[in-house]
Structure 1
Amino acid sequence: MEQDQEQEQTADGGRAYRKIDRIRAADQILEDLRDRILRGELPHGSRFPPDRDLAERYGVSVATVREAVRALAALGLVRVRHGSGSFVTVRTETLIAVSMASAIQLESAPVTDVMDILGVVNSHAAGLTARHATDEQIAALRTCAEGLADLDDLDRAMDGLRDFLRRLAEPCGNPVLAAICVFLGEVQVELARELSQRGLLPLRRVAGALQQDRIAVVDALEARDPERAVRVTRAYHVHALDLLTSVPEAREVRCSDPSYTGLISSLMRTKLASLTR
């Protein structure tokens, strides 16, 4: 057993690359490289091994390795930069974004379902934020909420809403939960932008109608009352959903709508592109 373990180590003490069976070789390479990335053996930002080196290590053709690397890129784990090689781009928020965006597309989830999920996860995050956020973080959230009281400019309104949702979730102390909230918040913001541009969602009326809900969320956080924070955050999202579904045309927007499909695809591209910054 000890001999087998020694054979699995490289000269520098790392885990050796195993030889790959010819059948489904690219899939096996994909699985092995994915495991190495998620274990941290190939950390975020590091240069990915060249295709020829991997081909030699696995005992396969360069074409087979490239097929596996393309799959890794599609998963958001590797970024191929033409002329400068490939780099590892693994981040929790990106893995979640790609997975959730794909699930939304696959299930043709309506806007209302996406917003309802955001309400559930954000409510839980708010309860944790009431416990873990610093006074400075809560103060910044209040400033953000107060800035959303009366906005006529669409871009400013969307940036403010995005900032509010991010600041509500990020201090929760659970990075995975925060990443889910941030991604779904991005979807909600971009959907609101799309509906506003179509004339289906009156920006000024909606911003004003939800203002007291946002302030109630901040008040609960300042009071360090987790149960109240969960309750008022859920009420905020229910109110937002009620406003959305009061417009019949907005209620029917689904993934089959070209603009919604394009939105999800655009968010996925943006998440992947942000990894190289």
Structure 2
Amino acid sequence: MAHETASIGPDRRIGRSRVADQIVDDLRERILSGELANGARLPAERELAEHYGVSGATIRESVRVLATIGLVDVRHGAGSFVTAEPDTMIGMSIASVVRLEGVGAHEVLGLLGALNRHAAQEATRHATDEEIASLRAAAEKLAAIDDIDTAREDLRAFMRRMSEISHNALLVPLCRLLADVQVELAIELSGGRLTEWMRVAGGLHEHRMALVEAVESRSPERAAEAVDAHSAYAASLILSTPQAKKVQAADPGYARLLAGMFTARLAG
């Protein structure tokens, strides 16, 4: 598919102090404001160098920084493209914190629980009857679990739907990322065995249905209680498998495992 190269506008000569940082700031502002649209190809290195009055090396450094923070995708032989996707930007920030601070499973699962709590409360206020019905349909698909891959996708769909019907644009990418990582963590700690996966994912079915019923009741208080119960039981099931104990012996907080999952999630 042909991509249109974005226009960079009038020249903006940059002072010599912290040149690359200033270029990063300028391009980031243009991307976040929509002036450089998502999917657009950045101007060629030579054009950017002339525009800012700097060397090609400085432009390459600036583009590398933008790529690191998830705003640009460098495709060798094709150019650099704007990739201002909320999931990517949020995901890269969280993944960096997980790796730098050694954030463990309890912190990640706890954060997801808190976000889901807010999402469920927002859903009681803002979701349409049809949207809540779609949440129930997603939950009912998990009544019987007999295949890991199918259940993985159905569980992701249910957890994502909860955030989507909250109609909160910030909650959606946050919950989506963390929910996907929780599902992958559950599968990893089940050792890939269907019996363990059925015990973990299947064991949460009553809690999922209670959560749906709480949202259907349109009671924020009841929804909060249902999410808290679901989150606590999910964490206890996920972290109590035989495989979890083996992994914990080598990685006490599961920090390395989680960092790898975040990285894989973003690369995928």
Please, what TM-score do these two structures have when normalized by structure 1?
0.85
Among 93, 96, 110, the alignment partner of 1:99 is 93
SS at match of 1:202: helix
Match of 2:4 in 1: none
Residue 266 (1) aligns with residue 257 (2): no
Residue 31 (1) aligns with residue 29 (2): no
Q: Which runs of 5+ in 2 are unaligned?
A: 1-7
CA 1:80 to 1:225, structure 2 compared with 1: closer, same or farther past 3 Å? same
Among 200, 208, 213, the alignment partner of 2:202 is 208
Match of 2:150 in 1: 156
Q: After TM superposition, give the deviation of residue 47 of structure 1 in Å.
A: 2.1
Deviations along 1:231-262, one digit per CA (max 9) or x if unpaired, are: 101210111112223347626353554x4432
Partner Cα separation in structure 2 for residue 183 and residue 170 of structure 1:
13
Match of 2:3 in 1: none
Partner Cα separation in structure 2 for residue 184 and residue 17 of structure 1:
41
Look up the equivalent residue of 1:139 and give its one-letter code.
A
Partner Cα separation in structure 2 for residue 235 and residue 66 of structure 1:
50
1:121/1:181 contact within 8 Å kept? yes
1:162/1:186 contact within 8 Å kept? yes
Q: After TM superposition, give the deviation of residue 16 of structure 1 in Å.
A: 4.2
Look up the equivalent residue of 1:35 and give its one-letter code.
E
> CA RMSD for the aligned pairs?
2.1
Partner Cα separation in structure 2 for residue 34 and residue 72 of structure 1:
7
Please, what TM-score do these two structures have when normalized by structure 2?
0.88
Partner Cα separation in structure 2 for residue 230 and residue 127 of structure 1:
6
Q: Which runs of 5+ in 1 are unaligned?
A: 1-13, 271-277
1:76/1:89 contact within 8 Å kept? yes
1:105/1:255 contact within 8 Å kept? no
CA 1:24 to 1:134, structure 2 compared with 1: closer, same or farther past 3 Å? same
SS at match of 1:109: coil
1:30/1:71 contact within 8 Å kept? yes
Q: After TM superposition, give the deviation of residue 198 of structure 1 in Å.
A: 5.4
Q: After TM superposition, give the deviation of residue 213 of structure 1 in Å.
A: 0.6
